[in-house]
Amino acid sequence: MRKPYIFTPGPTEVRENVRLARAIEVTNPDIDESFYDFYKDTCEKISKIIHTNNDVYILSGEGILGLEAACASLTEPKDRVLIIDNGIFGEGFGDFVKIYGGVPVYFSSDRTKEICVEELREFLQKDNQFKYATVVHCDTPSGVLNDISKICPLLKEYGIITVVDSVAAMVGETLKVDEWKVDIALGGSQKAFSAPPGLTILSISEDAFKVMDNRKTPIVGFYCNLTIWREYYTKKWFPYTMPISDIMGLNIAVDNILDEGVERVIERHRKIAYATRKSLEEYGLNLYIKQGYSNTVTVVEPPEQIEVRKIIGHLLEKYNVLLPGSFGYLNNKVIRIGHMGENAHIEKIVYILNVLDLALKDLGYISKHSLVQLFNNYYN
């Protein structure tokens, strides 16, 4: 089997030092107390990246675990929960709320644009009796980026706990958890952290823990119960056996980010995303998003005469490059370019744009431009 060159919005390419870290001989994480120090140190390094003094945890399960765990831990029967929805994952939070007996109330808006904070403010002036609210930082299927620096403080004005899915944004976008009043911030190892999939990363505020502690009914289930993580370090007791090799890999991925510098990493994402969007537009293609562009994923519509599935298949068959379409309402309508983490380097995006240019021309698309030349014009 020949591994394709992956340029998806997660999982991303993984640096060699991260892969090698997962091959290091391991101890027993349940009883070796040195692992508790290692785990805590890794969590504290992540807290520097997302700017928080809140507790940070690494859970054994892909990022969706964090989304469900937040809803499971906060939701009681008949709780009203505000679902801020301008994308597939935004809307999807409502399904988790219903599973645990809550009542989702949707604030839905144009899926080609970021959430309008003023419209949300008007909505809350009329109805603000919500236990918590969910919002997606970057909705991966569409590439829309929501301004949580304004959304979360607005929600907190009404005493609403804030739950943010930052899985596709964390590390690639600025995230100031404490300053922006994010009660639960959720990330995933396989996105801009550029570690293998399988880990959820999250931070929890004291406000969120108080809501969990003051429930009238017990939290349903165990694995999604976030309160089981409290005092793991002082008690030297994990809720379950930790995936030590995965965490060792993540630890090195975090070191890679800190060694480069968080602000430099974010600026690298910004520059590559901007040049990618501008080059695709000048090349003659339409971006799906009209306002609120993500720096980790660009979503583009194909030429009218060429089907998405045909482009993706041709890229894989002839060039061994794996670019994804999307799903849900965007199935077979767009192509996604995931320039996040290890994929957000100029030599890698230039390669992908060159291959996409060749593939489109193979399939009959005519453009007087070169995608790579256009990218170079905009990258500065």
Read off the pLDDT of residues 299-311 as tens digits, 9 standing for 90 and up. Answer: 999 999 999 999 9
Read off the pLDDT of residues 142-200 as tens digits, 9 standing for 90 and up. Answer: 999 999 999 999 999 999 999 999 999 999 999 999 999 999 999 999 999 999 999 99
In this model, does residue 366 exceed pLDDT 80?
yes
pLDDT of res. 80: 98
Select from 211, 236, 259 the last residue of a domain: 259
Are 187 and 286 in a shared domain?
A: no
Are 49 and 64 in a shared domain?
A: yes
Are 76 and 209 in a shared domain?
A: yes
Are 236 and 291 in a shared domain?
A: no
CATH number at residue 306: 3.90.1150.10
Are 251 and 365 in a shared domain?
A: no
CATH number at residue 138: 3.40.640.10
Read off the pLDDT of residues 271-300 as tens digits, 9 standing for 90 and up. Answer: 999 999 999 999 999 999 999 999 999 999
Q: What percent of the chain has pLDDT over 90?
A: 98
In this model, does residue 2 exceed pLDDT 80?
no
Domain membership of residue 345 as a residue range: 5-9+262-378
In this model, does residue 375 exceed pLDDT 80?
yes
Number of domains in the chain: 2
pLDDT of res. 1: 58
pLDDT of res. 380: 79
Q: How far is CA 77 from the centre of its chain?
A: 28
Select from 240, 259, 278 the last residue of a domain: 259
Q: What percent of the chain has pLDDT over 70?
A: 100
Read off the pLDDT of residues 14-23 as tens digits, 9 standing for 90 and up. Answer: 999 999 999 9
* pTM, two decimal places: 0.96
Are 205 and 319 in a shared domain?
A: no
Are 237 and 284 in a shared domain?
A: no
Are 80 and 226 in a shared domain?
A: yes
Are 172 and 197 in a shared domain?
A: yes
Residue 3 confidence class, pLDDT cut points 50, 70, 90: confident
Are 293 and 243 in a shared domain?
A: no
Are 79 and 215 in a shared domain?
A: yes
